Amino acid sequence: MLTDRERQRIEAEVRLYPHPRAAVPEALKIVQDHRGWVPDEAVREIAELLGLSPATVDSTATFYNMILREPTGRHVIFICDNVSCWVTGYHAIRDHLCERLGVALGETTEDKRFTLLPAACLGECDRAPAMLIDGDVYGNLTPEMLNDILARYD
């Protein structure tokens, strides 16, 4: 069930748009801010609140790969696999992260500390390869930098 705070924030957001459908991405982000991910029940309630079908809200959630539809670890790593990152070292960064964390892309570490996910361009192409951990962007990555960066997240 949406909390009062989530509901208030979504209702405030809807007022900024000419059509409720345009508020769906922000509504999903609001729920994710509060819970870390967006469960099915929240999708249904956002739909009801905005007067849309659950399928419409769900398709928006599916379109945006940073909307998380399953529970995650305490920290979420998005590693960019788009063109600039792909040609400047993505594979070495991905392989190091997978090995260090003991997971494949899409998985969460056993201790629930990290979830490692692929991402489309993070808008940091001039600093490729890049990744995002929670709200922090890291660019010009090399495998040697990764252990120090991961150590910043408990």
Within residues 65-84, the interface with ligand FES by CB under 6 A covers: 80, 82-84
Q: Which of 85, 103, 117, 141 binds ligand FES (CB under 6 A)?
A: 85
CA distance 26 to 31: 9
CA distance 135 to 32: 13
Q: Which of 122, 132, 141, 146 binds ligand FES (CB under 6 A)?
A: 122
Contacts of 117 (CB under 8 A, 6+ apart): 65, 68, 76, 77, 78, 79, 105, 106
Q: Which of 30, 130, 132, 146 binds ligand FES (CB under 6 A)?
A: 130
CA distance 120 to 82: 6
User: For ligand FES, which is the closer residue by CB, 3 or 140?
Assistant: 140
Site of interaction with ligand FES (CB under 6 A): 80, 82-85, 121-122, 124-125, 128, 130
